[in-house]
Amino acid sequence: MRLDDLIGKPYSQGARGPEAYDCWGLVMEASRRAGTELPEIAVPADNKKRGELIALQRESNFVRLEVPESGCLVLFRVIDNENRIRWHVGFVLDFCRQFIHVTGRMGVNISRLEDPKWLLHIEGFYTLRKK
């Protein structure tokens, strides 16, 4: 599966590609390329509502994994400098050591799961629930 053409694309809230992505738009695209269609989630700007929406989606559409699998989603729960919860999601790559994601500063990029910047904030690994 080819994802290298996504590297460097900019972050934009609510963007679904192909010129820019938000984190959910990027995992939708990566999952689509891997053969799985993820549900659309309209992510509200309000972070409290965003957290509630993520929790609802997590319970109804996804199954939590004990260990990461290639092609699963990794969900991060980050506390910012103002003590607010921020949610972030990425797509786990082959060999389960890296994930592709998008940030405002770097755009679409690949990071290591064991990087302390990310490791300490992993909420869990998820795969789409089979209907």
Give the start-to-end residue ranges of the domains of the chain: 4-128
53-67: average pLDDT: 80
Cβ pair 25, 88 in contact under 8 A: no
Percent of the chain, pLDDT > 90?
66
- Is the confidence at residue 9, as pLDDT, over 90? yes
What local confidence, expressed as pLDDT, does residue 41 receive?
79
Top pLDDT among 9 and 128 is at 9
91-105: average pLDDT: 95
What local confidence, expressed as pLDDT, does residue 74 receive?
95
End-to-end CA distance of the chain: 24
**Joined tokens for residue 17:** 């590609």
Cβ pair 126, 73 in contact under 8 A: yes
* Cis amide linkage into residue 18, ω under 30° from 0: yes
Cα radius of gyration (the chain): 14
CATH ID of 4-128, from 3.40.50.2300, 3.90.1720.10, 3.40.50.720, 3.30.70.120: 3.90.1720.10
pLDDT tier for residue 60 given thresholds of 50, 70 and 90: confident
Strands (E) across 1-131 are located at 62-65, 73-79, 85-92, 98-103, 107-112, 122-128
